[in-house]
């Protein structure tokens, strides 16, 4: 190869296939939505980390989360890559960098003949006591999510939202506050934020959260006193939960499970809670705008921070983000990937 | 403005009716006059500002936001006020929040040009909730899960009176209801409205389900045709006469052919129809006369209006509502003979002999400008609202067709961000090419459950072939069974037909689109 040959544009070595984004010279997919021979995984949420791949490379935390969810998958060839470490797959150098989304979440940096693409997976920019903070990685192409890719999404300060919750708990001491929060990441972050705000009482968790809370603890995240929220019999309101905080997956709060709580205040922790009718549709009485995704301003700020001339947009409200990125002088392209959930929960 | 914004913010998230009532009562107790009166007007939909239209809010948003991003956002959020409130870039200022009264006073006198500037100034000191509340107030239709009725019931609770007393006075008192609050607070006597032609809340009927009929003691019920026009009330007192719609809107301006001949004093209840040469015309002819402020001589000739009387509420100043139906009916007939009002008659009582006979009459109603039968208890007084067990409407069964889903649009309010408005089509031969094609025949946005809505929404998202702003065109792949009350010719529609009250009665996941109905099937149903 001549010494000054230009680096090949990622367009020439990345393909969008039905299973997802495919790196041709490495022979692997990033976050494929169906089982493939070789996958690199950004983080442990089910729509990004699926079961059944032949070989998987991910951070040790993400691999632990996948094991907790899908079992050991003994046939699978697993490769743990820590933040900052590199791995050679085919002709491509792969490295992992914190994405700030959930425990173990990574931006995957792919380098091929001097060209560099960063697939950020899902990410956020705010500090989160339960995971490593996002690190901007300079690159030629930055692949971004667009979950909150509309200028109506501006997440307020987390601490103000937690204060709103604690005010409500003080105002209704006879009611139980049940918070719908995604089982991986959001639930543990809510617990950690409550602890930071001085809530020292036990926090009661739905059975579906137990394994992941234990896993977070094993990775050194202090969650304080957690108790199972399963005491009591069917059809009998559990009076011991009056004045307490219960955390459950969003699907459980509106279900029969939630009805056994005494006069519950239904809360939901999600960036979607910014839109009133969204909160109403879910029967939420106390919306808490707490998100593990970047909001609109943070998405645009991130483009400036990574300094990539070109932005590829994967899933969410990609049209608006593409428009705004183009207006700021970036070359922007919507990848039209399918299979990732629009919902945060 | 802050207490009002907090009230709306809490109301929208409060699921229980009692908790909503408690919040409203607490607000009426703590908010000053006339703020609470304006808030009540906003909650009951009685507040409007001539100088400000929804378009003004959109223009205002454009002053601060990228138009393309605004449209994408509006498409997602589904509510103009909320989109603008959320997208508004916050700007530091030390100005105070305006008071609710300040907002109302200023907007009532502002011209269009002034309004935009003054609203823009107000928006900066507000937070997202304050901006939303202000813009909802301005654009009307708060959609916070509080009906006009609930607001009035809460007001009655606040004042310790029966809700019917509020309803009775409601249409005679204007915002901000100073004399109403003064009376409820015990500072002033009850307002006296007897010498004014005010709207009296009407008595309404429950739909009668097929399986309920057998349980009725038919001997105590009277039957009448349910005429297919619009329910109206004519009130004439102290030399003034008004024609009100069922909801109390004064629609008299467009119906001089009825009102100009009223010489009686009193309040009567009836059905507004178009009657030409003694024959009741189809509803869509009446439709030509509705929603107009004035009416042309040609319209008066072509679609002459008429009122078929059902009931009498006041004869002169005598309140007949406490009387049983049978007695009121006799009073109505006497009143009619005595006053002989022009362009009116009295609705016939329909004689029947048992359930089978009644059912046969109901089914025979198709093609007669009626929608079915009314059943009214002979001993029932005239009670405002929809009291249980006294009046029933027993509609003839709906017509149905199987149509193909063609376009979907996002809904508003509770359904914002769901594709909930569906345009459907029937097959026909293209007049030029002779090839089979779908032609839109109607639009429906109710009839399905919340769960079905989620399934339809998902289907639309997965089968979109084109997007036109908020509208998605879908591939030809889903059949909807559409129920409707009747179908009429309509030159305004490409298909040449228009349905009355179309709704989705079933989703035919099983049915191939090729087996959906043809336009000719609908044309044969025209009466």
Question: Is B220 in a helix, a strand, or coil?
Answer: helix
Residues in B 394-413 with any Cβ partner in A closer than 8 A: 413
Task: Report pLDDT digits (tens) over A177-189.
Answer: 999 999 999 999 9
Q: How confident is the model at residue A4 (pLDDT cuts 50, 70, 90)?
A: low
ipTM surpassing 0.95:
no
Query: What confidence score (pLDDT) does residue A338 get?
Result: 67
pLDDT in tens, chain B (527 residues): 999 999 999 999 998 898 899 999 999 999 999 999 999 999 998 888 877 877 888 889 999 999 999 999 998 898 899 999 999 998 888 889 999 999 999 999 888 888 888 999 999 999 999 999 999 999 888 888 898 889 999 999 999 999 989 988 998 899 999 999 999 999 999 998 878 899 999 999 998 877 788 889 999 999 999 998 999 999 999 889 999 998 888 899 999 999 998 999 999 999 999 999 989 998 888 988 988 888 999 999 999 999 999 999 999 999 999 999 999 999 999 999 999 999 999 999 999 998 888 888 887 776 668 888 999 999 999 999 889 999 999 988 788 899 999 999 987 766 767 889 999 999 998 888 888 899 999 999 888 888 889 889 989 988 888 877 678 899 999 999 999 988 888 888 889 999 988 999 889 888 888 889 999 989 988 87
- Of the CA atoms within 13 Å of residue A247, those in its CB half-sphere come to 29
Query: What confidence score (pLDDT) does residue A234 get?
Result: 59
Task: Report pLDDT digits (tens) over A19-60.
Answer: 999 999 999 999 999 999 999 999 999 999 999 999 999 999
Distance, CA of B282 to CA of B290 (rounded, Å): 14
Query: What confidence score (pLDDT) does residue B11 get?
Result: 94
Q: How confident is the model at residue A282 (pLDDT cuts 50, 70, 90)?
A: confident
pLDDT surpassing 60 at residue A158: yes
Question: Is B70 in a helix, a strand, or coil?
Answer: helix
> Helix %, strand %, coil % for chain B, to 5?
40, 25, 35
Distance, CA of B280 to CA of B289 (rounded, Å): 15
Tokens matching residue B365: 């109603």
HEC-encoded secondary structure of B101-119: HHHHHHHHHCCHHHHHHHH
- Residues of chain A contacting residue B79, judged by C-beta atoms under 8 Å apart: 276-277
Query: What confidence score (pLDDT) does residue B411 get?
Result: 79
Query: What confidence score (pLDDT) does residue A345 get?
Result: 38
Q: How confident is the model at residue A1 (pLDDT cuts 50, 70, 90)?
A: very low
Is A284's Cβ below 8 Å from some Cβ in B? yes
- Residues of chain B contacting residue A327, judged by C-beta atoms under 8 Å apart: 66
> Hey, are the CB atoms on B416 and A277 less than 8 Å from each other?
yes
For chains A and B, count residue pairs whose Cβ atoms are closer than 8 Å. 70
User: Tokens 């002979």 identify what position?
Assistant: B378
Rounded to the nearest angstrom, the minimum Cα separation between B422 and chain A is: 20
> Residues B195, B238: contact at Cβ < 8 Å?
yes
Is B77's Cβ below 8 Å from some Cβ in A? yes
Query: What confidence score (pLDDT) does residue B361 get?
Result: 87
Q: How confident is the model at residue A343 (pLDDT cuts 50, 70, 90)?
A: very low
Instruction: Name which residue leads in pLDDT, A333 or B416.
Output: A333
> Hey, are the CB atoms on B73 and A324 less than 8 Å from each other?
no
Query: What confidence score (pLDDT) does residue A231 get?
Result: 55
- Of the CA atoms within 13 Å of residue A221, those in its CB half-sphere come to 28
B509: burial class by Cβ within 10 Å (0-12, 13-18, 19+)?
Answer: exposed
Q: How confident is the model at residue A237 (pLDDT cuts 50, 70, 90)?
A: low
CA B460 to chain centre: 28
Is B19's Cβ below 8 Å from some Cβ in A? no
- Residues of chain B contacting residue A285, judged by C-beta atoms under 8 Å apart: 13-15
Residues in A 134-163 with any Cβ partner in B closer than 8 A: 150-154
Is B78's Cβ below 8 Å from some Cβ in A? yes
- Residues of chain B contacting residue A320, judged by C-beta atoms under 8 Å apart: 68-69, 72-73
> Hey, are the CB atoms on A281 and B414 less than 8 Å from each other?
yes
Do the bridges between strand A286-288 and strand A265-269 make them parallel or antiparallel, or are there none, so unpaired?
parallel
The answer for residues whose C-beta is within 8 angstroms of residue A160's C-beta and 6 or more apart is: none
Nearest CA in chain B to A281: B414
Task: Report pLDDT digits (tens) over B439-492.
Answer: 999 999 888 888 889 889 989 988 888 877 678 899 999 999 999 988 888 888
């Amino acid at each position: 190869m001549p010494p000054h040959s230009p680096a090949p544009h990622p367009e020439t070595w990345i393909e969008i296939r039905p299973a997802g984004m495919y790196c041709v010279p490495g022979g692997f997919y990033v976050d494929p939505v169906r089982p493939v021979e070789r996958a690199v995984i950004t983080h442990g949420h089910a729509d990004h980390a699926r079961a059944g791949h032949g070989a998987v490379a991910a951070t040790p935390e993400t691999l632990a989360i996948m094991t907790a969810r899908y079992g050991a998958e003994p046939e699978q060839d697993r490769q743990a890559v820590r933040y900052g470490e590199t791995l050679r797959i085919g002709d491509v150098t792969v490295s992992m960098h914190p994405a700030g989304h959930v425990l173990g979440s990574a931006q995957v940096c792919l380098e091929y003949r001097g060209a560099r693409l960063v697939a950020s997976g899902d990410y956020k920019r705010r500090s989160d006591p339960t995971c490593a903070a996002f690190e901007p990685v300079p690159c030629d192409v930055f692949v971004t999510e667009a979950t909150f890719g509309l200028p109506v999404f501006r997440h307020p300060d987390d601490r103000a939202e937690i204060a709103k919750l604690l005010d409500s708990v003080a105002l209704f001491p006879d009611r139980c506050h049940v918070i719908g929060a995604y089982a991986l990441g959001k639930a543990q972050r809510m617990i950690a934020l409550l602890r930071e705000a001085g809530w020292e009482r036990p926090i009661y968790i739905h059975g579906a959260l137990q394994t992941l809370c234990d896993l977070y603890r094993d990775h050194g995240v202090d969650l304080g006193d957690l108790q199972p929220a399963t005491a009591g019999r069917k059809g009998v309101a559990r009076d011991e939960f009056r004045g307490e905080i219960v955390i459950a997956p969003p699907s459980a709060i509106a279900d029969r499970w939630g009805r056994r709580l005494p006069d519950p205040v239904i809360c939901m922790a999600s960036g979607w809670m910014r839109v009133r009718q969204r909160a109403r549709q879910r029967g939420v009485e106390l919306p808490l705008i707490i998100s593990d995704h970047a909001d609109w301003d943070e998405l645009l700020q991130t483009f400036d921070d990574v300094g990539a001339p070109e932005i590829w947009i994967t899933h969410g409200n990609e049209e608006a983000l593409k428009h705004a990125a183009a207006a700021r002088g970036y070359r922007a392209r919507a990848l039209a990937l399918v299979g990732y959930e629009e919902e945060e929960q | 403005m802050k207490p009002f914004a907090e009230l709306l913010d809490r109301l929208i998230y409060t699921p229980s009716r009692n908790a909503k009532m408690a919040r409203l009562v607490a607000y009426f107790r703590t908010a000053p006059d006339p703020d609470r009166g304006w808030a009540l007007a906003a909650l009951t939909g009685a507040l409007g500002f001539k100088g400000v239209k929804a378009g003004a809010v959109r223009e205002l948003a454009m002053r601060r936001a990228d138009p393309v991003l605004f449209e994408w956002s509006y498409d997602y959020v589904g509510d103009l006020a909320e989109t603008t409130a959320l997208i508004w870039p916050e700007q530091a200022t030390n100005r105070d929040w305006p008071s609710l009264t300040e907002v109302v006073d200023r907007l009532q006198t502002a011209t269009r040009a002034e309004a935009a500037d003054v609203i823009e100034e107000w928006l900066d000191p507000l937070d997202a909730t304050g901006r939303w509340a202000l813009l909802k107030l301005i654009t009307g239709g708060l959609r916070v899960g509080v009906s006009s009725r609930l607001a009035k019931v809460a007001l009655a609770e606040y004042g310790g009176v029966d809700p019917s007393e509020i309803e009775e006075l409601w249409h005679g008192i204007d915002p901000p209801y100073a004399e109403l609050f003064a009376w409820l607070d015990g500072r002033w006597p009850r307002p006296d409205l007897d010498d004014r032609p005010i709207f009296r809340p009407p008595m309404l009927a429950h739909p009668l389900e097929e399986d309920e009929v057998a349980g009725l003691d038919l001997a105590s019920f009277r039957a009448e045709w349910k005429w297919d026009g619009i329910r109206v009330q004519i009130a004439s007192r102290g030399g003034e006469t008004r024609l009100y719609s069922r909801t109390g809107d004064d629609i008299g301006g467009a119906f001089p052919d009825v009102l100009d001949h009223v010489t009686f004093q009193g309040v009567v209840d009836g059905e507004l129809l178009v009657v030409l040469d003694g024959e009741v015309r189809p509803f869509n002819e009446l439709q030509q006369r509705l929603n107009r402020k004035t009416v042309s001589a040609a319209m008066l000739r072509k679609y002459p209006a008429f009122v078929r009387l059902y009931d009498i509420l006041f004869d002169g100043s005598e309140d007949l509502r406490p009387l049983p139906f049978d007695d009121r009916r006799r009073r109505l007939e006497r009143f009619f003979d005595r006053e002989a009002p022009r362009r009116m008659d009295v609705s016939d009582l329909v004689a029947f002999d048992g359930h089978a006979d009644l059912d046969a009459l109901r089914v025979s109603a198709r093609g007669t400008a009626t929608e079915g039968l009314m059943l009214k208890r002979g001993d029932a007084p005239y009670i405002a609202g929809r009291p249980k067990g006294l009046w029933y409407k027993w509609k003839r069964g709906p017509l149905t067709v199987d149509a193909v889903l063609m376009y979907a649009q996002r809904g508003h309010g509770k359904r914002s961000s769901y594709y909930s408005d569906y345009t459907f089509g029937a097959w026909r031969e293209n007049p030029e090419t002779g090839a089979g094609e779908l032609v839109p025949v109607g639009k429906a946005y109710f009839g399905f459950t919340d769960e079905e809505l989620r399934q339809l929404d998902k289907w639309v998202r997965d089968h979109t072939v084109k997007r036109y702003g908020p509208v998605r065109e879908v591939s030809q792949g889903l059949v909807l069974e559409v129920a409707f009350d009747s179908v009429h010719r309509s030159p305004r529609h490409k298909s040449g037909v228009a349905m009355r009250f179309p709704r989705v009665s079933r989703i035919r996941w099983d049915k191939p689109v090729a087996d959906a109905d043809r336009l000719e099937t609908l044309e044969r149903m025209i009466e």
